[in-house]
Amino acid sequence: MDNFESQLSSQKIRPIPTHWKGQILSAAARSTPSPLPQEAWTWRDLLWPCPQVWAGFAAAWLLVLFLNISITEKSTPATMAARPTPAPVDGYAERQRLLAEILGDTRKPPIQPSFVPRRRSEAAPIAVAV
């Protein structure tokens, strides 16, 4: 730093106005965010606004659960197997009999065996070409 620069730096900059401190710090204090509440969260905070509504939701949910269980019990595999097989409704056998009568065929028409589902374990193995 040469003499000229020293001469410049020796010039004192005027002091900050004293009344600024109060103004600036009070403005800053207004900008300070209020501290967050540190209380622990409780279920009451959630349920308090309208406990009747939450009680209604709980009752409806229990009703749905009860109905769901009762329906599930009725549709177990044992109850499904015990149900009678519905009669074929396609009328194929009836049409075959009428046709035989018209044609004078005395032979008995072949009776289509009703479909009886088999277990998977009794099914013939299926060869799959890869």
Partner 1 sequence: MAGIVRNETDGDYVCQSLESIPEMKSGHMPTEWDLKRLYDEHAQSLFAFLLNFTRNEDDTRDVLQELFCKLASRPELLDNVREPRAFLIRLCHNLAVDLMRRRGTRDRNHAALAGEESEIFAPQSHADDPAFREALTTALAELPSEQRAVVHLKLWEGWTFEQIAAALQIPLNTAGSRYRYGVDKLRERLRPLYDEIK
Residue ranges that bind partner 1, judged by CB under 8 A: 3-5, 7-9, 11-16, 20-21, 23-25, 27-33, 35, 38
- Is 3 or 106 the residue whose CB approaches partner 1 more closely? 3
Minimum CB–partner distance for residue 28 and partner 1 (Å): 4
Smallest separation, CB 44 to partner 1 (Å):
23
Q: Tokens at residue 34, please?
A: 């209020």
Q: Taking Cα atoms as reference points, which of 57, 76, 53, 77 lies closest to residue 65?
A: 57
Answer whether 105's CB lies under 8 Å from 98's CB. Answer: no
Could you tell me if 93 and 109 are in contact, meaning their C-beta atoms sit under 8 angstroms apart? Answer: yes
CA atoms within 13 A on the CB side of 35: 3
Return the number of the residue (20 or 43) whose C-beta is nearest partner 1: 20
Query: Which is closer to partner 1, CB of 32 or CB of 72?
Result: 32
Q: Given the complex with partner 1, which of 13 and 40 has the nearer CB atom?
A: 13
Least spacing, CB of residue 53 vs partner 1, in Å: 34
Q: How far is the CB of 40 from partner 1 (least distance, A)?
A: 14
